[in-house]
Amino acid sequence: MRVRLQKGKQRELIELVKRKLNLSWKELGKKVGIAYSYLRGDLRYERVLLPKEVYHRLCRIAGVNFNRFVLQELDENWGQRKGGKRSRPRPKPPKLLVKEPSKELAEIIGIMLGDGSIYVNSLHKVYQVTISGHSEDDKEYLLNHVKPLLERVFRRKFYVKFHKKGKEIFLINQEKDVVFTLQSYGFPAGNKVVNNVGIPDWIFNSKKFLKSCIRGLIDTDGSVCPITGRKYPYIWFKTRVPNLRRTFSRAMKILGFKLSKWSKRSTSQTYIGKKSLVLKYFREIRFNNPKHIKRFEKSWKAPVV
């Protein structure tokens, strides 16, 4: 049996239990007895109705009664019975391609927060993930690092497109499963500024995840710049998104980095300016974008050990 609640109440119940117990999604899934990715994704976003036993378990754990919000109780095969032989075959539900968080996935989220985007048009069944960069400066990084990384993690192909006039390069995938997986791990479709995106909560569960995500962000929306009068470069990061500024600052504080104050512009920027912290970044977080590595080594006047 499955329980149909009023719109929004299924998500409210699940998030209430998580908040009340102060558990991670993985811990909550174990306590409730279902896969945490299924709980956090399909059930939380009401793509699937709650099994009756899971509904009662959540109510019992939270100490609440949501029965007033129950609209129906349905058999497991209610959809098949309702449609019968005349019904059109339903589209396959999207598949979660990554079952567990990882350092590689965290780096991909950082890359997406920097230079990535998702476009969805459900009506016309259009799903697209795009990562962009400069066709000359970022070509080596995107083709030799980002593309293999994406294809290794998602086990799906990304094709390359060049815009010669605009000097742009794009990595593109148009599969619903890739979009669904990125959304399930905290990267939404649409305009990043309007959505006020930030580093997802699950990445803060591990310093390894944080380092990987920050690397992805700096490799895409960061820069390494020599400073007049200094024998080493500063590491800069800029963004127009308030929540990304907030979560970036929080992450860097956890990792032991002191940042400058954010500049007061529509596209705000901050930097790491202390020599010991610049070296700490190079040693502990590193760059995967060759253009940053080259600029760092060229600007650093002493041998880097």
Assess contact for 280 and 257: CB atoms under 8 A: yes
271: number of Cβ within 10 Å? 21
Instruction: Note the pLDDT of residue 28.
Output: 86
CB 65 within 8 A of CB 31: no
Q: What percent of the chain has pLDDT over 70?
A: 93
The answer on pLDDT for 182 being more than 90 is yes
This prediction has a pTM of 0.70
Query: How confident is the model over 20-72, as pLDDT tens digits?
Result: 888 888 888 888 887 877 888 888 888 888 888 888 888 888 888 888 888 88
b/e per residue, 168-202, with b = 16+ CB within 10 A? ebbbebebbbbbbbbbbbbbebeebeeeebbbbeb
Kindly give the pairing relationship between strand 222-226 and strand 233-239.
antiparallel
pLDDT in tens, 257-291: 999 999 988 889 999 999 999 999 999 999 999 99
Please report the domains of the chain, with CATH numbers, ordered by start residue.
Answer: 2-83 (1.10.260.40), 103-195 (3.10.28.10), 204-299 (3.10.28.10)
Instruction: Give the integer Cα–Cα distance in Å for 63 and 12.
Output: 14
Give the pairing type, strands 268-272 and 2-5: unpaired
Residue 114: what residue type?
G
| CA–CA separation, 150 and 63 (whole Å) | 42
Identify which has the larger pLDDT, 58 or 217. 217
For 30, phi then psi, to 5°, come to -65, -40
Nearest to 96 by CA among 46, 27, 52, 35: 35
Across 107-129, average pLDDT: 92
Quick one: pLDDT at residue 33?
80
Mean pLDDT of the residues in the chain: 88
User: In one letter, which amino acid is 35?
Assistant: A
pLDDT, position 4: 86
